[in-house]
Amino acid sequence: MGLAIVILAAGKGTRMHSTLPKVLHQVGGKPLLQHVLETARNLKPEQIITVVGHGAEAVRKVIGDDYSQWVFQEEQLGTGHALAVALPEVRASQVLVLYGDVPMIRADTLRAVVSNIGPDDMNVLTVQLPDPHGYGRVIRNDEGLVIGIIEEKDATPQQRSIQECNSGILAADRGRMKALLDQLDNQNVQGEYYLTDTIALAQEQGLRVHAVTVTEEAEVLGVNNKTQLHTLERYYQQRMTHHLLAAGVTLKDRDRVDIRGPMPVTGRDNVIDVNCILEGDIELGDDVEIGPNCYLKNVRLGHHVHIHANSVLENVVVGDGCQVGPYARLRPGTVLSPKAKIGNFVETKNAKIGQGSKVNHLSYIGDTAMGDGVNVGAGTITCNYDGAYKHQTIIGDHVFIGSNSALVAPVEIGPDATIGAGSTITKPVAKGKLAVARSRQVIIDSWVRPKKGA
């Protein structure tokens, strides 16, 4: 009684007006198809088969082969034809049909769709809509069984008043489904084989067609254009921010926070200000405050961390009690030890900043191992690139670096050393020593500033 999930994802998506295959357009930072595949995995099926057509190689390259078995539909002749192409690959006894452009379907909803399916049953997913305009209406008999789907253009006024609409998602016995697909014809305006036509055929042949109904349209809303894509993006963000609020996070404005990726892991008493984007894997400790207009991607923040306004953090780890920003950029490989401080207009990359160390203003620290209690003056840079290779700067504990200094890597500054302001350091500085490397100041008394017309 295994389950195979077949995902139909071969459409071109002409109305998207894009060279990108439709199912690779993103909601919440992930392709539409990836949302469907991740939900499908939650059902633990025996097989997941994805039918691809337009842009098949691009789809496989982005998604990879770990999620699904792939079947190619050479000609796009309708949803019924797409399932017929996939069915020979199905080993399981039950088939659930999903769509690669319907990303918000929930696993619990699908579990209801695949429950209690016998050889003579078909389950279809329907949705109750306050405004069903444009949707095919679900026709039931007196027993509540589905006996057909009627398109709006073919419906009577009474049928158009029906608010239960077809989603296209269905589940059935594999053998029964094959027999129904073999009877489909393409005698319609589009000349295509419609999967929805199997519902009427099933009823005519004595199968019991049951409806599983959802009330939230977004769960079954497909993406055919950028307007629908935008609608689902906002729905996804509302769903994610609802979870954040439920977890106790204070959002200054839930409509101005975007989560792109999985739900952040969060502690207590955290605050996120407006216009923040959290992408990828995000972990927040307790008492974290993220100021307005910040972008965080794959970031782990410890307890009592404050990220000030307009800061960008990507692939970094920030220890307890750290301060970052405003206007700071922490690039991949940055690790801040507890109580470190990165100030305004500071950029770091592949840098370990020691406990209590401060880089307060207008500095670049790259490929650096910095000890504890270091103070870096404004305008300091590590010159880590020689035009071909990157080199490391090592700074010991309790070093003081004067403003406007350049540390030319590879170079090591010993513990307790001091670098005079304006120095260019090219050689090692021993423990406790003062290094000054600047030009001698000269005063020219007889100099006269040039003037125009003189």
Question: Catalytic residue positions?
Answer: 361
DSSP state of 152: G
211-249: burial string, b at 16+ Cβ within 10 Å, e else: bbebeebbbbbbbeeeeebebbbebbbeebbeebeeeeb
Euclidean distance between CA atoms 277 and 260, whole angstroms: 7
* Separate counts of helices (H) and strands (E) for the chain: 8, 36
DSSP 22: G
Tokens 């349209």: give the residue: 217
Contact 23, 99 (CB under 8 A): no
180: three-class secondary structure by DSSP: helix
Distance CA 28, CA 235 (A): 10
**Tokens encoding 373:** 């209690």
Gap between the Cα atoms of 336 and 352, Å rounded: 6
**C-alpha torsion sign, points 11, 14, 15, 17:** positive
Residues 46, 36: Cα–Cα separation, whole Å: 16
Q: Contact at 8 Å (CB) between 15 and 57?
A: no
d(CA 207, CA 196): 15
Yes or no: say if 340 and 365 are a contact pair by the CB < 8 Å rule.
no
Fill in the amino acid letter for 361. Answer: H
Q: Give just the sign of the alpha carbon dihedral 225, 231, 234, 236.
A: negative
Token pair for 95: 């088939």
Q: Can you say how many angstroms the Cα of residue 119 is from the centroid of all Cα atoms in its chain?
A: 39
Give yes or no for a contact between 388 and 370, defined as CB atoms under 8 angstroms apart: no
User: Does residue 292 have a cis bond before it (omega within 30 degrees)?
Assistant: no
- Strand-pairing partners, residue 282, are 299
The dihedral through the CA atoms of 54, 57, 61, 63 has a sign that is positive
